Amino acid sequence: MRKFISQQMPNSSFIIGDAGGTGTQWRLVSNGVIDQFTTVGFNAYTHSLNELKEDIGRVFGNKIEKNIPVFFYAAGVDTPQQQKEVKSSLIEIFGDDLYVENDLVGVARSLCGKKEGNVCILGTGANACYYDGKSVNKVGASLGFILGDEGSGAYLGKKLLTQLFRDQLSSDIIDIFQKEFDLTSHEVIQRIYDKPLPNQYLASFAPFIYNHRNHPDVYKLIYKSFEDFFAAFFHRSDYSSKAYHFSGSIAYYFSDTLRQLGNDKGILISNIIESPIARLVLYHQEND
């Protein structure tokens, strides 16, 4: 836990949670003092709310104030029914003043405030929307790591493993990979199909990809994955000429390649941040 003092609106109190597949970042703002917490991740399609609730209780302890606004942004909360289920589960912890939204809403508010733009998430998973300054409008279905999530950490890991075990990469990068991981295709398939959170397992190869991003084969893999992202989410968009804003670890750490693709394709890429949480604090201080 880390604590620091906010200079803006010192009398405001609220809680923000930003949940993705790998982790959930929290900010507890109480009279200008901001506490930072991290709990397990949550995606409405792949994770257990019970596990998240247990971790919240363990990490927060007695720091949760009742009757202050709580804004919870989570991956996979795509329907009113999912919002209702998440809210009804978390309300016993936080109280009635709880607002549950899709993580795209949080990223849009963080990156654009009340201005319009194309808002994109590239982390463990992938998602995108057009934001008109008030609400988000989906431009394409994410579909999860099996059917979609183009450009995400899981997608990069999947492409790396597919090309590696099909001998579609040069021998030197295959040798480097096997010296580090020593894996067979059988072991990978077992891990993906027999154990929980296969999307996180696939995304766990992103650091290897990052460390070898200048290798021609790896660079090509990254570049093509980002091409696939734009093709999947924005191929029919009426807003493709608007600026693109990105959040997520993959967008952040591979920003050089992402911006190069933008330059090559005439795509206006504006902000790229690793996490929306800090800007979300400012947004809610200024707007609530």
pLDDT tens for the chain, 288 residues long, are 444 334 444 457 888 989 877 788 888 888 778 888 888 878 776 677 788 888 888 887 777 777 788 899 988 787 888 888 888 888 888 888 889 988 889 999 999 988 999 999 999 889 998 998 888 887 777 878 888 899 999 999 999 999 999 999 999 999 999 999 999 999 999 999 999 889 889 999 999 999 999 999 999 999 999 999 999 998 876 667 789 999 999 999 999 999 999 999 989 999 999 989 888 888 888 776
Q: How far is CA 19 from CA 39, 55, 100, 140, in A?
A: 9, 13, 11, 21
- Measured between alpha carbons, how far is 143 from 125 in angstroms, rounded to an integer? 10
Question: Torsion-angle region of residue 65: left (phi > 0), alpha (psi -120 to 50) or beta?
Answer: beta
- Measured between alpha carbons, how far is 106 from 281 in angstroms, rounded to an integer? 10
- Measured between alpha carbons, how far is 54 from 267 in angstroms, rounded to an integer? 43
- Measured between alpha carbons, how far is 138 from 231 in angstroms, rounded to an integer? 14
- Measured between alpha carbons, how far is 228 from 148 in angstroms, rounded to an integer? 10
| Nearest one of 169, 147, 274 to 221, comparing CA atoms | 169
- Angle between helix axes 153-165 and 171-181 (nearest 10 degrees) is 110
- Measured between alpha carbons, how far is 60 from 17 in angstroms, rounded to an integer? 12
pLDDT digits (tens, 9 = 90+) for 136-174: 887 777 878 888 899 999 999 999 999 999 999 999 999
- Measured between alpha carbons, how far is 226 from 150 in angstroms, rounded to an integer? 7
User: Using CA atoms in the order 222, 225, 226, 230, what is the torsion angle rounded to 10 degrees?
Assistant: 170
Query: Looking up tokens 């596990």, which residue turns up?
Result: 51
- Measured between alpha carbons, how far is 184 from 207 in angstroms, rounded to an integer? 19
- pTM, two decimals, is 0.84
φ/ψ (deg, to 5) at 9: 45, 65
Would you state the structure tokens that stand for residue 30, as one six-digit string? 């109480």
- Measured between alpha carbons, how far is 30 from 11 in angstroms, rounded to an integer? 7
User: DSSP class of residue 288?
Assistant: -
Q: How far is C-alpha 260 from the geometric centre of its chain's CA atoms?
A: 21
Would you state the structure tokens that stand for residue 249, as one six-digit string? 């670890």
φ/ψ (deg, to 5) at 140: -175, 155
pLDDT digits (tens, 9 = 90+) for 200-212: 899 999 999 999 9
User: DSSP class of residue 11?
Assistant: T
